[in-house]
Amino acid sequence: MNAKDFISLSPEVEKAIRKGLPIVAMESTIISHGMPYPQNVETALNCQRICRENGAVPATCAVIGGRLCAGLTDEQIDYLGREGHKVTKASRRDLPMLVAKGMDGATTVAATMITAAAAGIRVFATGGIGGVHRGAETTMDISADLEELAETPVCVVCAGAKSILDLNLTMEYLETKGVPVIGFGTDELPAFYTRKSGIPVPWRSDDPKEIADAIRASEQLGYPGGMLVVNPIPEEYSMDADVINKAIDDAVREANAQGIRGKETTPFLLAKIKDITGGSSLAANIQLVYNNVRLAAKIAANL
């Protein structure tokens, strides 16, 4: 794949790449489809600030006018946040037509990995990845994010996966695809809003430098794909498991009743869960993203 011809770097990111400075990529579906305005824009701008405070250059990614952009202006971030669902949620399958039409798109984890890899960025921080949805044995709803982790050499730092997904099947899929999954300071997969799922992860690390060593080793081994670091939400922001699990169950039931499908599923569930929890899921979501940016910056600084 040669996406390099389609990449546009911001001056800051271009300089960081030239000088070999630590860089952390960030996605934009979380801005347009993952959170409401104006919290989405505030969160994205805070992520960039936190990234800098922790010694790395932020590279928020999106498709703008058919170009795969790494590094956005504040105005572009504000635009993606205000437009919300009017912007195309862009995963791998959407990039060719967005480029051909010269359109804008908010990149998912998969499309952000493609952009980051083409730009030469090796670490990426987000909130949650897509995975194997509950009921996937009949719907076949499995996020392209998982396949991308197997194919594209970027280390993605997330807070595990939320139980709108089938967490066991998601872990099985990652195992089949040979994606290294590393728990940061934990032996089990964090469940996004909570620190525990009861599902073991194959590897644990307590040291960002060790994770950077593993990224280098994966590259030297010639692995085509990336790596998934799962970082539990800080204790003080984690939610009550019963409250959030009930909210998720109700949201999933509502989505099924309304016949919500395909790319609409994750945004619908996130918005529903936020309404059911009176906004406390959004507050937790924002804090876990910040926590992931901090860790990603430390990993990038060790590369």
Q: Which residue has the tokens 């619908």?
A: 268
Nearest of 218, 130, 132, 142 to residue 182 by alpha carbon: 218
- Which residue in the set 22, 58, 81, 128 belongs to the binding site for ligand PSU (CB under 6 A)? 128
When binding is defined by CB under 6 A, the residue of 7, 17, 30, 149 that contacts ligand PSU is 30
**Binding-site residue total for Mn ion (CB under 5 A)?**
1
148 binds Mn ion (CB under 5 A): no
Q: Which does 272 bind (CB under 5 to 8 A by kind): Mn ion, ligand PSU, none?
A: none
Cα of first residue to Cα of last residue in the chain, in angstroms, is 24
287 lines the binding site for ligand PSU (CB under 6 A): no
Report in angstroms how near the CB of residue 55 gets to Mn ion at its nearest: 35
* Binding segment (CB under 6 A) for ligand PSU, from list 30-38, 209-217, 218-226, 236-244: 30-38
In one letter, which amino acid is 241?
Answer: A
Indicate the residue among 17 and 35 with the shorter CB distance to ligand PSU. 35
Q: Helix axis angle, 167-176 relative to 144-151, nearest 10°? A: 30
91 part of the interface to ligand PSU, by CB under 6 A? yes
Q: Which residues are catalytic?
A: 27, 162
Q: Does 190 bind ligand PSU (CB under 6 A)?
A: no
d(Cα 218, Cα 112) in Å, to the nearest integer? 20
Return the number of the residue (34 or 226) whose C-beta is nearest ligand PSU: 34
CB-based contact 124:108 (threshold 8 Å): no
Residue 296 CA to residue 228 CA, distance in Å, equals 11
In a 3-state reduction of DSSP, which class is residue 147?
A: helix
Report the residue number, 29 or 197, with the smaller CB distance to ligand PSU.
29
Answer yes or no whether residue 141 interacts with Mn ion by CB under 5 A.
yes
H-helix or E-strand spanning residue 112: helix 109-119
Site residues for ligand PSU, 99-118, by CB under 6 A, read 108-109
Q: Is 191 in the site for ligand PSU (CB under 6 A)?
A: no
166 touches Mn ion by CB under 5 A: no
Q: At its nearest, how many Å lie between ligand PSU and the CB of residue 270?
A: 6
CA distance 263 to 137: 17
By the rule CB under 6 A, 170 interacts with ligand PSU: no
* Beta strands, E only, the chain: 7-9, 23-26, 57-64, 67-70, 88-90, 105-107, 123-125, 155-158, 181-184, 203-205, 227-230
Positions in the binding site for ligand PSU (CB under 6 A)? 27, 29-30, 33-34, 91, 108-109, 127-130, 143-145, 263, 266, 270
Residues making contact with Mn ion (CB under 5 A)? 141
